[in-house]
């Protein structure tokens, strides 16, 4: 069964998960970054103060995902979506209308928590839990929701800012999303609650990934890509300067990254179903590793293009591989708990990574040296995960 059959027979459930991933754009850094200047002015914060506040609310959002994300393992998905959407709307209302910067930051935190955190958690968990034999393909299709947001929204919002204020644009985007969410919430093919909620005071059954060595051994492999790509996005000016390129080339290469994610997601999803996530986990970072080598030893425009395209191919494939690995390791019935743990770790690390990288640059390191450090981290994470991957292959 291929993508066409999957879309024909399960388009309703796939549509829900895809829309959740696309809606997460509201809380993603690329979307909020488009409005950083007017939001800072609205809250009365300098650029530096906004950056510090953004990192702080991101860290809090990560802890909130860790605590509340597992509820999708027993809460009915429709109800879970209603709670997330309602909280997201409350956050947008606070962010865009709050008369005091404290309430505005609370709104920003809710937007980050529900957008980047819970919306992606909803989409990936639904696709990973409800599809068995076609899990990889389903996750690949669903992941294209984020890709659509990353590629279409920045130029669209930049153009619309010529006619609308930033508040009106946020409200307009929410109204557009409501045209799809309302029918799905009323008549969508939502699955039933996957389990029963633990009684008050009862110890929750299921895995505790942070207490398991295999989770910590897999984590660097799954974290290296979001950490390093966040650093490349944040410090794009320094990267292009040290590599002997330009921001104009970077902007074009960023489009190339978005295009590269598409074959990465579709081929990655297909290969996960055919070859299994364990084998793919050993190979999917190879394009990015080669890209780092090109950037370190060749540099220039070619180095920037290699980083963006190689990163795009690997990023497109990562979600279907990572979620399938979690299912193989801990079972689909506990996917919400384990995915929440991974999501929280990603949110926390990507929130801290720019600060660590900025300190390294302030100490005088060249960006080429930082890229070499990223390559060493990638190889170390790959080596550390091999024992767990061998166990999973033997058990599967």
Instruction: Encode pLDDT of 109-118 as tens digits.
Output: 999 999 888 9
List CB contacts of 244: < 8 A, sequence separation 6 or more. 299, 300
Task: Please give the average per-residue pLDDT across 321-341, as a whole number.
Answer: 84
Confidence of residue 86 (pLDDT cuts 50, 70, 90): very high
pLDDT, position 172: 93
* 205, pLDDT greater than 80: no
pLDDT tens-digit series, residues 6-30: 888 788 999 999 999 999 999 887 7
pLDDT, position 135: 83
CA gap 38, 254 in Å, rounded: 24
pLDDT, position 392: 84
* 197, pLDDT greater than 70: no
Task: Please give the average per-residue pLDDT across 140-158, as a whole number.
Answer: 86
Q: Which residue has the higher pLDDT, 345 or 80?
A: 80
**Domains located in the chain, CATH noted:** 1-191 (1.20.1250.20), 206-396 (1.20.1250.20)
């Amino acid at each position: 069964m291929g993508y066409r059959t999957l879309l024909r027979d399960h388009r309703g459930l796939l549509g829900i998960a895809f829309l959740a991933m696309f809606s997460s754009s509201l809380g993603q850094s690329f979307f909020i970054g488009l409005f950083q200047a007017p939001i800072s002015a609205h809250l009365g914060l300098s650029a530096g103060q906004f950056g510090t506040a953004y990192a702080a609310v991101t860290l809090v959002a990560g802890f909130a995902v860790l605590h509340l994300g597992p509820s999708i393992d027993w809460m009915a998905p429709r109800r879970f979506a209603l709670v997330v959407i309602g909280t997201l709307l409350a956050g947008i209302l606070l962010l865009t209308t709050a008369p005091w910067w404290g309430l505005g930051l609370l709104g920003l935190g809710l937007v980050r928590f529900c957008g980047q955190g819970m919306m992606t958690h909803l989409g990936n968990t639904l696709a990973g839990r409800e599809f068995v034999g076609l899990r990889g393909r389903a996750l690949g299709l669903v992941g294209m929701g984020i890709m659509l947001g990353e590629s279409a929204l920045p130029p669209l919002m930049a153009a619309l800012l010529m006619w609308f204020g930033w508040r009106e644009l946020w409200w307009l985007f929410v109204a557009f999303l409501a045209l799809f969410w309302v029918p799905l919430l009323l008549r969508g093919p939502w699955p039933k609650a996957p389990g029963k909620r633990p009684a008050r005071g009862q110890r929750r059954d299921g895995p505790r990934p942070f207490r398991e060595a295999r989770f910590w051994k897999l984590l660097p492999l799954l974290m290296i890509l979001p950490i390093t790509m966040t650093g490349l996005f944040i410090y794009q000016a320094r990267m292009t300067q040290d590599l002997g390129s330009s921001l104009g080339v970077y902007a074009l290469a960023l489009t190339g990254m978005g295009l590269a994610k598409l074959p990465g997601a579709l081929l990655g999803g297909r290969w996960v179903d055919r070859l299994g996530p364990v084998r793919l986990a050993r190979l999917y970072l190879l394009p990015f590793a080669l890209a780092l080598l090109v950037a370190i030893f060749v540099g220039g425009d070619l180095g920037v293009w290699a980083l963006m395209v190689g990163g795009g191919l690997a990023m497109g494939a990562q979600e279907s591989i990572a979620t399938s690995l979690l299912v193989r390791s801990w079972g689909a019935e506990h996917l919400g708990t384990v995915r929440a743990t991974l999501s929280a770790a990603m949110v926390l690390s990507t929130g801290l990574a720019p600060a660590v990288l900025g300190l390294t640059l302030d100490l005088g390191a060249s960006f080429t040296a930082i890229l070499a450090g990223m390559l060493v981290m990638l190889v170390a994470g790959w080596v550390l995960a091999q024992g767990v991957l061998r166990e999973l292959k033997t058990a599967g």
